[in-house]
Amino acid sequence: MTVDVRPTLWVSLLTVSLAYGLLGWQLSAQNILWSVGALIGICASTIALMWGGGLMGRMMRIGPRGVITMLIFSLSLTLAASAPTAFVEVLILVLTQLFARLEFQTAGFSRVVTLVILLSISSTAFSGGWLVGMYFFPSNPLWLS
């Protein structure tokens, strides 16, 4: 197995760290439970995106599981209408994770190494953004509206 480290790999890591740092900064104005919940959600969504590809594909099929697809789409549409800033933030997080995962896979990294790197980068950037928001440059608690 040969690993090809490209400049786009560093760009994808930078976008992931910026997106999660922004989320941590924005959640620093909220209650600490939101930040802890978001950190757990970060880990869960990263693991789901890494190893849940087959499961996600099966859930999106037409049939009895189509209800889950409609539920996901209706929840995302409701979030987009009620809190467009939060919707864009979630969309940026998912897309940067997918971009980074794709770059790591094309570079030749295994799934486990990719998962460890993405989890460490995202949780470190989230924590750093939260610390910046708490102690240096506070965020606005009304950013969701």
What pLDDT, on a 0 to 100 scale, did the predictor assign at position 115? 83
> What is the per-residue pLDDT for 65?
59
Q: What is the pLDDT along the chain (145 residues), one digit of tens a residue?
A: 566 667 778 888 888 898 888 888 887 877 767 666 776 776 676 666 666 666 656 655 655 556 667 777 777 777 777 777 777 887 888 888 888 888 888 888 888 888 888 888 888 998 898 888 888 887 776 655 5
Q: Which letter, b or e, does each residue of 76-91 get, where b requires 16 or more Cβ atoms within 10 Å of its Cβ?
A: eeeeeeeeeebbebbe
Please name the residues in contact with 4: beta carbons below 8 A apart, sequence gap of 6 or more.
106, 107, 108
What is the dihedral sign for C-alpha 104, 107, 112, 113?
Answer: negative
pLDDT given for residue 29 in this prediction: 78
Confidence (pLDDT) at 62: 58
